[in-house]
Amino acid sequence: MNKVEGIILDWAGTAVDFGCFAPVNVFVDIFNNAGIDVTMAEARAPMGMLKIDHIRAMLAMPRISALWEDVYGRTFNEEDVEKLYAEFEPALMVSLADYTDPIPGVIETVEALRNRGLKIGSTTGYTDAMMEVVVSNALKKGYGPDFHVTPDATDSIGRPYPYMIYRNIEELKVSASWKVVKVGDTASDMKEGVNAGVWSVGVIVGSSEMGLSLEEYTSLSELDRERVISETAHSFMQNGADFTIETMKELPELIDRINELISDGKRPSTN
């Protein structure tokens, strides 16, 4: 049957934690503690990657790299990465349970998709230990996919590599990669989907890419809201998304559209 069989959702910024604030605040804090003043935009840029890879990506940014040399008189090394990560993980674990509220519309959308017989998988940049906190707390609040996998299961090779998606395809017994839709809120999510050969969808409102809290978003003027939605959508498309949606509530209708494309012989883009 040539139809979508499975949906793979990201976690923070897609399914839970509107705006993806849990990790961002900690990244800013650990760099500040090391004497390096980083911006929220810099902390968000690699979002979606395995968290130690995220730290490496931040250190490799030209401005941060130059600041590191100014402060320490040398370029950063792997020992610096590991020291920062050793501070990051326990700091995140302290607050992680507070950032597990399902994003509005997610629970209802997942229920609607399940009622169609679709399987719900997930990938993340969090580790197994982090996901123990996230999964259990999200489940209490009404959200839980059929399967979740972290980079711990793929030899710590996370996004943008496709291996976590492959694990989902295997576990959920989906018959082909082009019958899978990956939904995420970061550039890394889009690249992961492209590399796996699945349909890639960027969800805009609540995303790390947008970077706004629910309060900040709802307080925007209509003009500003249209602007940030357009900018976020453009970023997703630039990073390989096949489609963007404003909220998860639009996903069932998009699945209908993708099914029509599949019936016409179309397949996900590999740009």
Q: Which residues are annotated as a binding site for Mg(2+)?
A: 10, 12, 185
Catalytic site includes residue 242: no
Alpha carbons within 13 A on the beta-carbon side of 198: 34
Q: Is 229 exposed, middle or buried (0-12, 13-18, 19+ CB in 10 A)?
A: middle
Which DSSP string do the residues of 79-104 spell out, in sequence order? HHHHHHHHHHHHHHHHHGGGG-PBPT
Catalytic residue among 3, 29, 37, 51: 51
Take residue 224 and report the two structure tokens written for it: 């500003």
Buried b vs exposed e over 170-209: b needs ≥16 C-beta within 10 Å? eebebeebbbbbbbbbbbbbbbbbbbbbbbbbbbbbbbbb
Q: Is 51 a catalytic residue?
A: yes
Which residue bears the tokens 């629970």?
Answer: 107
DSSP class of 12: B
SS3 150: coil
What residues contact residue 49 under an 8 Å CB cut-off, 6+ apart? 57, 125, 158, 159, 160, 188
220, 265 Cβ separation under 8 angstroms: no
Rounded CA separation 271/262 (Å): 18
